[in-house]
Amino acid sequence: MTAEQKQAYLRRIDAVNDQGVYKPDWQSLANYPVPQWYRDAKFGIFIHWGIYSVPAYFSEWYCRLMYYKGNPVHWHHLRKYGKNFNYRDFIPMFRAEKFSAEEWVELVKSSGAKFLMPVGEHHDGFKMYDSDLSEWTSVHMGPKRDVLGELKKACDENGLIFSTSSHRAEHYWFLNGGKTVGYPNETQNDAYRSFYGPCQNVHKANNLYTLLKQEHGIEPEAWWLEDWLVSSCDLIDRYQPASLFFDWWVSYKAFRPYMKKFLAYYYNRSLEWGKEVCVYYKSDAVMYNCAIFDRERGQLAGISPYIWQGETSTAYNAWSYCTTNHFKKPEVIACNLLDVISKNGCFVLNLGPKADGTFCKQEQDIILELGNWTKTNGEAIWGTEPYKVFGEGKKQKGASFTEHFHYTAKDFRFTYKTGVVYAFSLKPYGKSRFCIKTLADTMDTFHCVIKNIRVLSGNKISQYKQTKRGLEIQLAEKAAQKMPLCFKIEVE
């Protein structure tokens, strides 16, 4: 796309907003409702797949880390590939020879998830879809396939909601270590600027300190902000996703007027399409209640009055497939899901396929067990809302990157629908006695009459009673499952 074509696109964005219902100001944007499909979904799947899946080492930040001294990726890259091997050289190795959109959708649906959100463009600037804005796409090189297009088609044909993400904002500076690493490489060559991006940097040194400083002190120029806006609008125009996820740098204050233009454009276009859409953001990128707040690898301290999103990955250390991944146990992920939905959130779990388009056995096993568990406990997840309190047990601090939870048999999470309280024991294994303090007969918050209690997974209850300690439940045998155990408590 030429500079003139970009300017024409910008004028089109303004024209749509001038004529549309929603204007690029917070008061107007706050009137766009949260889609009902999102309120009902409860659970979605994120997918990180791209060039970084080829080296498959450490994390999806490979292209940044390979150019910064003092971190494991830099030394790994030098040992395995050498100084003359650039990030671009991985593209021909990214062939996706076993990728099947239909198989991906089948796997996602088996987990119980209601929407799929593959990354459209990550920080490396490589688009996984067709676009006139760049030649660096999965259509023109690498797989030579429109990955997003194929996944959207498969979702539409199989009753799965299609969403996507853009991480382009960070591409402004993401590969800047290549300019200071101390040896010639393609990030220093303007002939490849359209791929490696501006590589903006305010640091002369190349070490762990400057790596961790990341974007601090960098000011995005107007031309980049316009590029981001056009790129974002082009993505939603081409694929009409039901939602779009942005990573953290759009919270930088320079993005504010451009973000408002984008939201108005997306919301107005959704009316033309006859669709309900939403946007996920981090930090303060968007004014409260104008889009959906997203918390990465963390939680809220309590129930939010507005629906929010909690996202994490199957691996503790990465979002993409890496041979170095340390995977979570299925019960850890299920507890995370329950913590999120009990606080009026929607849970998103990330998977990272291999470069060939297949999923490793560890992730397949996680999805299998998670799917079996959601089938058994589905009535306590879908069609429910938060109870008066989200749960009980160990207190949690609301924050991102704080997901190393250590639940005990005293930890419960609640959901509710008319006439039923669902109480999940987060760590039931080996236990036969459970005490839910929130439902004690002396609690001011609970005056209902309990009609019946049963376990959704079929465990037999020998007796239950309300005491001053709580609702005490005795199983006939010790719980054999490690996944959360749900008590269906019928009340009147």
Residue among 401, 390, 403 at smallest CA distance from 342: 390
Q: Specify whether 395 is located in the same domain as 357.
A: no
Under the banding of pLDDT at 50, 70 and 90, the label for residue 257 is very high
> Of the candidates 331, 360, 380, which is a domain's last residue?
380
Give the residue from 358, 380, 402 where a domain finishes: 380
Mean pLDDT, to the nearest integer, of 37-42? 98
pLDDT band at 446 (very low <50, low <70, confident <90, very high): confident
Whether 48 shows a pLDDT value over 90: the answer reads yes
> Is 176 part of a structural domain of the chain?
yes
CA distance 205 to 68: 10
Asked whether residue 310 falls in the same domain as residue 455, the answer is no
Domain termination site, one of 331, 353, 380: 380
Is residue 360 domain-shared with residue 426, that is, in the same domain? Answer: no
In a domain, 119, yes or no: yes
> How far is the C-alpha of 306 from the C-alpha of 344, rounded, in Å?
7
CATH number of the domain that residue 462 is part of: 2.60.40.1180
Q: Which residue has the tokens 């040896």?
A: 183
- Reported as a pLDDT band with limits 50, 70 and 90, residue 214 is confident
Query: Which pair of structure tokens corresponds to residue 197?
Result: 């991006």
Identity of residue 216 = H
Residue 46 domain-assigned?
yes
Q: How open is the CA angle 205-75-136, to the nearest 5 degrees?
A: 80
pLDDT category at 459 given cuts 50, 70, 90 is very high
Which residues lie across from 279 on neighbouring strands?
244
Three-state secondary structure call for residue 414: strand
> Are residues 421 and 373 part of one domain?
no
On the question of pLDDT at 222 being above 80, the answer is yes
Closest Cα partner for 370 from 111, 139, 14?
A: 111
Q: What is the mean pLDDT of the chain?
A: 97
The pLDDT of residue 401 is 76
Whether residue 376 is found in the same domain as residue 397:
no
Whether residue 447 is predicted with pLDDT greater than 90 in this model: the reply is: no
Q: How confident is the model at residue 199 (pLDDT cuts 50, 70, 90)?
A: very high
In a domain, 174, yes or no: yes
Q: Give the three-class secondary structure for 206.
A: coil
Confirm whether 385 is domain-assigned. Answer: no
Q: Which long-range contacts (CB under 8 A, 24 or more apart) does 443-452 make?
A: 445/388, 445/389, 448/421, 448/491, 448/492, 449/491, 449/492, 450/489, 450/490, 450/491, 451/490, 451/491, 451/492, 452/489, 452/490
* pLDDT tens digits, one per residue of 337-356: 999 999 999 999 999 999 99
Query: Tell me, what CATH number does 66's domain have?
Result: 3.20.20.80
| Burial annotation 22-31 (CB, 10 A radius, 16+ → b, else e) | bbbeeebbee
Task: Mark whether 440 and 375 lie in a shared domain.
Answer: no
- Which has the higher per-residue pLDDT, 121 or 3? 121
Do residues 337 and 443 share a domain? no
Q: Which of 349, 381, 382, 345 is nearest to 367 (CA)?
A: 349
| Domain co-membership, 237 together with 303 | yes
Residue 268, φ and ψ in degrees, nearest 5 = -65, -40
Residue 291 scores a pLDDT above 90: yes
Q: Residue 168: what pLDDT?
A: 99
Q: Which two tokens stand for residue 152?
A: 């959207």
Token output for 231? 């790129």
- 366 pLDDT tier (thresholds 50, 70, 90): very high
Q: Looking at the structure, do residues 41 and 190 belong to the same domain, yes or no?
A: yes
Identify the pLDDT of residue 236. 99
Residues 233 and 284 placed together within one structural domain of the fold: yes
Residues 6+ apart with CB under 8 A from 154: 101, 102, 104, 105, 160
pLDDT at 314: 99
Q: Give me the number of domains the chain comprises.
A: 2
386 lies in some domain: no
Supply the range of the domain harboring residue 440. Answer: 391-491
The stretch 310-324 carries a mean pLDDT of 98
pLDDT bucket at 405, cuts 50 / 70 / 90:
confident
Residue among 310, 237, 234 nearest 269 (CA) = 237
Is the domain of 336 the same as that of 451?
Answer: no
What pLDDT band is residue 2 in, cutting at 50, 70 and 90?
A: confident
Percent of the chain with pLDDT over 90: 94
The three-state secondary structure class of 469 is coil
Residue 156 within a domain: yes
Pair (117, 156) in one structural domain: yes
User: Is residue 128 domain-resident?
Assistant: yes
Q: For 94-121, how does the pLDDT look when each residue is reduced to its tens digit (9 = 90+)?
A: 999 999 999 999 999 999 999 999 999 9
Give the Cα separation of 196 and 174 in Å (integer): 9
Range 247-275 average pLDDT: 98
Averaged pLDDT, 61-88: 98
pLDDT score at 61: 98
How does DSSP assign 153-175, residue by residue?
A: HHHHHTT-EE-EEE-GGGGGTTT
